[in-house]
């Protein structure tokens, strides 16, 4: 595997994904804000729907931030030339596993051993 070429492409791909997630985060900021509904003008069910939508938006943002953190860690591993090495056994992480989740840090064997 030509480490430099593959990692350069992956590095750019991860940067693009991070930028996309940050843009989504900015665009959905208002959905996570305080629910302000005028009680007489809006029924109780509408208020509940708005609060449910807010809770879902907050949880989506939490997951988005976790993924951004994973991307940041993957970018660091690429710079340190340790990307693709299992954090548990120092073996190589399977190519398909990395393709499925570029931020993964352990190989399949170590992942199944931990379960």
How do the domains of the chain map onto residue ranges?
3-83, 84-115
Burial class (CB in 10 A: 0-12, 13-18, 19+), 86: buried
Q: Model pTM?
A: 0.76
Q: Decide which of 53 and 5 is more confident.
A: 53
- The closest of 105, 66, 107 to 83, measured between CA atoms, is 105
pLDDT of 114 reads 72
49-72 residues labelled b (16+ CB within 10 A) or e (exposed): eeeeeeeebeeebeeeeeebebbe
pLDDT of 30 reads 75
**Confidence tier at 95 by pLDDT (50, 70, 90):** confident
Looking at the chain, the whole-number percentage of residues with pLDDT higher than 70 is: 85
| Residue 53 neighbours by CB under 8 Å, 6+ apart | 31
Q: What is the mean pLDDT of residues 60-85?
A: 94
**Confidence tier at 115 by pLDDT (50, 70, 90):** low
């Amino acid at each position: 595997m030509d480490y430099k070429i593959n990692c350069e492409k992956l590095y750019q791909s991860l940067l693009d994904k991070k930028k996309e997630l940050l843009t989504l985060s900015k665009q959905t900021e208002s959905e996570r804000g305080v629910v302000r509904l005028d009680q007489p003008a809006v029924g109780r069910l509408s208020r509940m729907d708005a609060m449910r939508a807010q809770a879902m938006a907050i949880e989506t943002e939490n997951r988005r931030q976790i993924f951004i953190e994973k991307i940041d860690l993957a970018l660091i591993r690429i710079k340190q030339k340790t990307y693709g090495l299992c954090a548990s056994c120092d073996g190589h992480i399977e190519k398909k596993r990395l393709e499925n989740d570029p931020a993964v840090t352990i190989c399949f064997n170590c992942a199944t051993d931990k379960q």
